[in-house]
Amino acid sequence: MSRTLFQVLGVAAVLLLVVLLLQFARAPLDAEAPAAGASPATAWGEPDLQGIWTRTTNEPLQRPARFKDREFLTDEERAEFNNKISDIVGRESDENRRPRGTEQDVSGGYSAAVFTSHLPVGRRTSMIVDPPDGRIPALTAQEQNKRNDLREYAFALLQATDVCKNKLLACTGWKYGPPSARRAQVPPSYIMEGIVGGGGGGINRSDGPEDRILSERCLSSSLPDFGGFRRIVQSKGQVAIFYDVGQGQGWQRIIPISASPHLPATVRLWWGDSRGRWEGNTLVVDVTNFSPKSNFQGAHENLHLVERWTRTDAETLQYTVTIEDATVWTGPWTVTLDLKKQDDKANRIYTEPRCHEGNYGLATMLAGAREDERAFVAGRGPDPATKCLAGCGGFAGGFAEEGDDANPIR
């Protein structure tokens, strides 16, 4: 064999090797090299977060004061709480416990417990892991003043009702009085829910759709969200999450894995503008550009989130979110949840039936308010200002606000 042929074969072999190596090298290069580690990876090399996920235990958002610096409950405490909750749900079948013949009986004070599913009590004493006391940081002075204004307006609309006449819990901090002239005023904020009465109640007025809370308008569901189910589907550089939450008020987001800047500040979105990146096995998402109409715990357009999604084992997806809004809170705070993988075949994630297509509630509440006004004018009914339509208190999250039927972990 000639020396030239050897040279040719040698060069060809090297070229072939280079071509092969390039083929092998391509996948990790394209995937921007997240470390595979122990977590499952997609065929294109990004961490695999796909599937249906939900919480399987319940923890209070904020740590009840009595647990102070304790981060975890003992197994015995959890069993005791589970038994107490089970008793409350069982007792609710007793007709005598209802405040019969009152407005509360027909506006949330009925046996709501049996309509609420309770997850087993989880280990943590709060979803909030930072600050270390497990509590939402104090409001800024500016926000405290704003909320006082909102409360005064909301109480003024409630003051002529039985809620204040009978000194029910929802009227704490206010007094019974005649119908207020403030009923004719535009509310001091677009978002007036969760101000008085607990349970996300709105203002005691139904002049038009805006007076009703977002969930009654099928416009609830906000980010971050700590309940319900999520379906995650990924393709290279895109993570789609559908949130099955809020009785048919589900929604979806597609998080681009992108270093591109956020949308212009003039573009405001209900669920904000998300930009994702991989840090090792963790999907880190920065969310800004929220709308003034969006509402998370009283934060609106200045809300900023940094979310972290990590597979911690085959069945667990840990979701951690740091929440900040310097106009609302004096510091950032962080929530952690463990989401558990659900059966893909059972496919129990529902985009339908959806709230909006069957929203008879909003139309009938408005129609009812108009009928009340006509009846009053005709001398057939009471002054509508004396009837409680919202913010009346009652049950929240399946528990009474006080007494034996209140949440035992409060």
State the residues that interact with other proteins by CB under 8 A: 3-4, 7-8, 11-12, 15-16, 19, 27, 42-44, 50, 207-209, 217-219, 231, 233-240, 242, 250-252, 254, 256, 260, 263, 267, 269-271, 344-347, 350-354, 356-357, 362-363, 366-367, 369-370, 373
Q: In this complex, which beta carbon is closest to other proteins, that of residue 144 or of residue 364?
A: 364
> Which residues neighbour 269 within 8 Å (Cβ) at sequence distance 6 or greater?
263, 289, 290, 291, 294
Closest by alpha carbon to 325, among 342, 309, 344, 301? 301
Q: In this complex, which beta carbon is closest to other proteins, that of residue 274 or of residue 320?
A: 274
Q: Are 58 and 121 in contact (CB under 8 A)?
A: yes
Amino acid at 142: Q
Token pair, residue 55, equals 């919480």
Write the Ramachandran bin of 145: left for phi over 0, alpha for psi from -120 to 50, otherwise beta: alpha
Q: Are 207 and 229 in contact (CB under 8 A)?
A: no
Q: How far is the CB of 398 from other proteins (least distance, A)?
A: 23
Q: How far is the CB of 200 from other proteins (least distance, A)?
A: 18
Say how many CA atoms lie within 13 Å of 3 toward its Cβ.
Answer: 0
Q: In this complex, which beta carbon is closest to other proteins, that of residue 5 or of residue 141?
A: 5
As separate numbers, helices (DSSP H) first and strands (DSSP E) second, the chain gives 6, 10
Looking up tokens 């929604």, which residue turns up?
251
Q: Are 91 and 405 in contact (CB under 8 A)?
A: yes
Q: How far is the CB of 2 from other proteins (least distance, A)?
A: 10
Q: How far is the CB of 360 from other proteins (least distance, A)?
A: 11
Q: In this complex, which beta carbon is closest to other proteins, that of residue 256 or of residue 381?
A: 256
Q: In this complex, which beta carbon is closest to other proteins, that of residue 176 or of residue 376?
A: 376
Strand partners, 318: 310, 338
Q: Are 190 and 219 in contact (CB under 8 A)?
A: no
Q: How far is the CB of 224 from other proteins (least distance, A)?
A: 17
Q: In this complex, which beta carbon is closest to other proteins, that of residue 27 or of residue 35?
A: 27
Q: How far is the CB of 363 from other proteins (least distance, A)?
A: 6
Q: How far is the CB of 152 from other proteins (least distance, A)?
A: 22
Q: Are 365 and 212 in contact (CB under 8 A)?
A: yes
Looking up tokens 């909102």, which residue turns up?
150
CA pseudo-torsion sign 373, 374, 379, 380 = negative
Q: In this complex, which beta carbon is closest to other proteins, that of residue 126 or of residue 222?
A: 222
Q: In this complex, which beta carbon is closest to other proteins, that of residue 327 or of residue 359?
A: 359
CA distance 106 to 86: 24
> Which residues neighbour 236 within 8 Å (Cβ) at sequence distance 6 or greater?
30, 31, 42, 44, 46
Q: How far is the CB of 206 from other proteins (least distance, A)?
A: 8
Write the Ramachandran bin of 198: left for phi over 0, alpha for psi from -120 to 50, otherwise beta: left
Looking up tokens 């129609």, which residue turns up?
367
CA distance 276 to 285: 4
Q: How far is the CB of 211 from other proteins (least distance, A)?
A: 9
Backbone angles phi, psi at 171, to 5 degrees: -100, 5
Q: In this complex, which beta carbon is closest to other proteins, that of residue 155 or of residue 242?
A: 242
Q: In this complex, which beta carbon is closest to other proteins, that of residue 111 or of residue 294?
A: 294
Q: How far is the CB of 210 from other proteins (least distance, A)?
A: 8
